[in-house]
Chain A
């Protein structure tokens, strides 16, 4: 579906976002995190970071990680995904990481550590980096049955516009990823995402070879972007690409619960910092479309 533009969750939220470019808040995060003594530690497949109040605020405003709410008011605890951890460590060069409580790890060792735990890490990191480096906010897409969802600014201010599926191929062009292998995969992705007013974005990571080192990989892996849209000829006889499965404004479950308080900072972090899953309306237009 071609969206008519970002769906802001409230009046004036677009202005709040425009007045607070994400790149600037991230720059503040970089400074604060570099100066902090906190280091991230592996927990499960993710990483845990303990933060002081100023850093807690900045993590929330840049929407990195998931805050673990505790009764301890003075410290923050954030759970970071491997991609987020590596992005903060490598691309933003501000996060320290500690493995096995030993010395602080360097970037190449961290790279190897990430790869040893997930052989697909380079592909997902490349995709994550592609989106975050353009200042889109990238969060897990599990709730929507995809890899990531991306937001134009903070999830409290705006609904996510794209549901992202990551596919990949080797340098030779040989398809590797095996996403969207059969037609029902396509139908499934488009139906699930259009039901919550998101367009499906296919990120194709190209040029992957297992043997590459980190710099080689990042230099030679490129990312192509394509949207996947379903066209309903019965609903659109104009020369448009509009895919009329769902009216975007009908779907809005989460935003009422978020409160904006302009006197403290740009926005107040509510008790539940995870973005609520958005529940779609039943999509009766997706019926067998044969006529005659």
Chain B
């Protein structure tokens, strides 16, 4: 995760998370913005990080992101959707965050729990809001739907039901990323009516 030092433009209304009034970006946001030339990333030695290194970090799986989740992020973000990490608040104030400390506790408070995305399993990755110029990080409302990234097999009925329970009443879409395609499927329960 990186702290945004200098920002310009309205894209920041719906990108990055606020922690104690400071703006931070997750790696997928960094990757997307860097790819379109809207962001420059510096490392600890104040050197500019190239795209190869940024892309590698996206794919790393250590930062709560994988190449597939990054592709899904990029696809939806470029179409104007508001994409946040599933379950993570857009804005948080916490008195205990000490900006001068770099303990892991503080990292958790800023970034949220980073769970390594399991290969092959189904992971809830993003909360999606419709493109909306009135979006506010301090009051985003419920997401329009949640994206679940699925591995190499479509989810079974049981997996779908278990994941739906985790999402409560928010609609769930399943995302599959292949070499040249990002697809979304949903499996809503229906009930064919009894006809006269």
- A residues adjacent to B (C-beta < 8 A): 18, 21-23, 131, 134-136, 150, 152-153, 162, 167, 169, 173, 175, 180-183, 185-187, 190, 201-202, 204, 224-234, 237-239, 241, 288-292
Please give me the 6 A-B residue pairs with the lowest Cβ-Cβ distance, nearest first.
Answer: A21-B196, A135-B195, A231-B184, A288-B180, A134-B194, A226-B187
Residue among B153, B187, B193 making CB contact with A228, cutoff 8 Å: B187
A-side contacts of B195, CB under 8 Å? 21-23, 134-136, 152-153
Residues of A with C-beta under 8 A to B144: 239
Contact A204 B157 (CB under 8 A): yes
Kindly state the separation between the CA atoms of A131 and B190 in the bound complex, as whole angstroms: 13
CA gap between A173 and B195 in the complex, in Å: 30
Contacts of A225 in B (CB 8 A): 189-192
Q: Is the CB of A231 within 8 A of B185?
A: yes
A292 touches B176 (CB 8 A): no
Cβ-neighbour of A190 out of B32, B158, B171, B185 (below 8 A): B185
Residues of B with C-beta under 8 A to A227: 187-188, 190
A288 to B145, CA, bound (A): 23
* Nearest Cβ on chain A to B181's Cβ, whole angstroms: 5
- How far apart are the CA atoms of A33 and B120 in the complex, in Å? 55
Minimal Cβ-Cβ distance residue in A for B129? A239
B87 CB–A CB distance under 8 Å? no
Q: Are A183 and B176 in contact (CB under 8 A)?
A: yes
By the criterion CB–CB under 8 Å, are A241 and B157 in contact? Answer: no
Determine if A169 and B157 form an interchain contact, defined as CB atoms under 8 angstroms apart.
yes
Contact A289 B176 (CB under 8 A): no
Residue from B74, B130, B160, B190 in contact with A239 in the complex, judged by beta carbons closer than 8 Å: B130
Q: Which of chain B's residues has its CB closest to A287's CB?
A: B181
Among residues of B, the one whose C-beta sits closest to the C-beta of A153 is: B195
Residues of B close to A234: CB separation below 8 A: 79
The answer to the question of B63 belonging to the interface, with a C-beta cut-off of 8 Å to chain A, is no
A-B contact pairs, 20 of them (CB 8 A): A135-B196, A136-B192, A175-B158, A182-B152, A183-B154, A183-B176, A183-B178, A185-B154, A201-B190, A225-B189, A226-B160, A229-B186, A230-B183, A231-B185, A233-B76, A233-B79, A241-B186, A290-B75, A291-B78, A291-B79
Inter-chain contact B157/A175, CB cutoff 8 Å: yes
CA distance A292 to B35 in the complex (A): 9
User: Which residues does B use to contact A, with CB under 8 Å?
Assistant: 32, 35-36, 71, 74-76, 78-81, 130-131, 144, 152-154, 156-158, 160, 171, 173, 176, 178, 180-196
What's the least CB distance linking B88 to chain A, in Å?
21
Residues in A with CB closer than 8 Å to B71 are 290
A183: chain B residues at CB < 8 Å are 152-154, 176, 178, 183
Measured between C-beta atoms, what is the minimum distance from A170 to chain B in Å? 12
Q: In the complex, which residue of chain B has the Cβ closest to the Cβ of A229?
A: B186
Instruction: Give the shortest distance, in Å, between A118 (CB) and chain B (any CB).
Output: 23
CA gap between A131 and B157 in the complex, in Å: 20
Residues of chain A lying within 8 A (CB to CB) of residue B178: 183
Distance from B80 Cβ to chain A, minimum over Cβ atoms (Å): 7
Chain B residue at smallest Cβ distance from A184: B178
Residues on B with beta carbons closer than 8 Å to the beta carbon of A204: 157
Question: Taking the nearest CB of chain B, how far is it from the CB of A157, in angstroms?
Answer: 13
Collect the chain B residues with CB atoms within 8 Å of residue A291's CB: 74-75, 78-79
Name the A residues within 8 Å of B192 (CB-CB).
131, 134, 136, 150, 162, 201, 225
Of the candidates A167, A237, A289, the one whose C-beta lies within 8 Å of that of B131 is: A237
Which chain B residue has the least Cβ–Cβ distance from A183? B176
Residues in chain B near residue A187, CB distance under 8 A: 183
Q: Does the CB pair B154–A181 fall under 8 Å? A: yes
Assuming A186-B154, A234-B79, is B181 touching A229 (CB within 8 A)? no
- The distance from the CB of B29 to the nearest CB of chain A, in whole angstroms, is 14
**Contact yes or no, B157 A180, CB < 8 A:** no
Residue ID in chain B nearest A162 by CB atoms: B192
Instruction: List, in ascending order, chain A residues with CB within 8 A of B181's CB.
Output: 288-290
A226 partner residues in chain B, CB cutoff 8 A: 157, 160, 187-190
Q: Report A-chain residues with C-beta under 8 Å of the C-beta of B190.
A: 201, 225-227
Q: Is the CB of A175 within 8 A of B156?
A: yes
Q: Say whether B158 contacts A173, CB under 8 Å.
A: yes
CB closest residue in chain B, given A187: B183
Residues of B within 8 A of A173 (CB): 158
Q: Indicate if the CB atoms of A202 and B154 lie closer than 8 Å.
A: no
| Docked pose: A163 CA to B153 CA in angstroms | 22
